[in-house]
Amino acid sequence: MRTPETRRPTRIVLPLQCDEASWAALEHAAAVAKALRAELRGTFLEDLDVLAAASLPITRAISDRSGRVGTLDPAQVEAQFRALATRARQRLADLCRQHALAWSFEVAERAPQAATESQEARLDLLLLDRTLLRRRQNAAALLQLATRYDTVGVGDMRQPQPSRLILVYSGEMEGLRVAGSLAETMALPLEVLIPSADTREAEASAGSVREWLGIHRIAGSVLPVAVQDGDREKALAALTEGSGALVVFDRHDLLALLGN
């Protein structure tokens, strides 16, 4: 049986907002894209809850400067988001020119779309700063974005380089390929965690992953982790809080972390 090859992501996708956390994450994502020789795509996240609220006649807004209460004008909200998106696009373009990176930009879709053939053929890595998972104001937009990508890396992107690379393995080969490629590029050992309520099943998966790491000469360790179904999300969330760790998940684990 032919062993699947490692595959480098051809595109790094980063959700963007206009704040300091986003700019730090952008520098981090650019470094990863440069190391992988991948395109960097910035995806601007609009606050879907604010957009929905702006269309309701009963919604009121309070000015943070004057304290005055007024109506929330949908056109004005749209204009503000367009201005923020333009600012994010310019920041992305400037950074990518500086690092000679291929880049693209989009505003996240407000409604989920079915993947096209070209999207399915492309190997993407969605990168998230862990602080974004705790910001509830963009949860709806982030949920929709997460459904488009099979593999996601979550970490503290204020740090220029992770000190640990962890893969939560649920049997998805794409995640293993991406994590293996990151381990090679970043010169980090790969820690593979296999959470399961079935010990024998986890041990069997661990054996195949160890074999894969050995064939591809990727340094690392594989550890089956016994979890009950109700504890899985807590265990995943705890991993994202680890200092210096970049944790690679598949799409279903990310959706669970976001509460879907």
How do residues 53-112 score in pLDDT, each as one tens digit?
Answer: 555 555 555 545 544 545 666 677 678 888 999 999 999 999 999 999 999 999 887 655
CA dist., res. 256 & res. 232, Å (int): 9
Cα separation values, 205 from 1, 64, 170, 188, Å: 16, 54, 9, 22
In a domain, 192, yes or no: yes
Q: Quick check: 250 and 150 in contact, CB under 8 A?
A: yes
Mean pLDDT across the chain: 81
CB 183 within 8 A of CB 165: yes
Q: What distances in angstroms separate CA 184 from CA 88, 144, 162, 189, 213, one per listed residue?
A: 31, 31, 13, 8, 11
Residues 55 and 117 in one domain: yes
What is the rounded CA–CA span in Å between residue 253 and residue 244? 20
Residue 136 within any structural domain of the chain: no
The CATH number given to whatever domain includes residue 182 is 3.40.50.12370
Kindly give, in sequence order, each residue whose CB lies less than 8 Å from that of residue 102, ignoring residues fewer than 6 positions away.
39, 40, 96
Tell me: pLDDT of 116 over 50: no
For 195-207, how does the pLDDT look when each residue is reduced to its tens digit (9 = 90+)?
888 888 888 899 9
Contact 181, 10 (CB under 8 A): no
Q: Are 165 and 190 in contact (CB under 8 A)?
A: yes
Which residues is 222 bridged to in the sheet?
A: 192
Span 232-236, average pLDDT: 78
Residues 157 and 122 in one domain: no
pLDDT of 79: 80
The secondary element (H helix, E strand) that includes residue 80 is helix 74-98
Which tokens go with 260? Answer: 């879907």
Which H or E run includes 247? strand 245-250
In a domain, 143, yes or no: no
* pLDDT reported for residue 50: 57
Q: What is the distance between the alpha carbons of residues 51 and 240, in angstroms, rounded to a whole number?
A: 29
Q: Which domain holds residue 21?
A: 8-59+70-131
Domain count, the chain: 2
Q: Do residues 13 and 124 share a domain? A: yes
Verify that 124 and 46 share a domain, yes or no: yes
Residue 182 domain-assigned?
A: yes
Residue given tokens 């160890």 in the structure block: 210
Q: Model pTM?
A: 0.82
Indicate whether 13 and 123 sit together in one domain.
Answer: yes
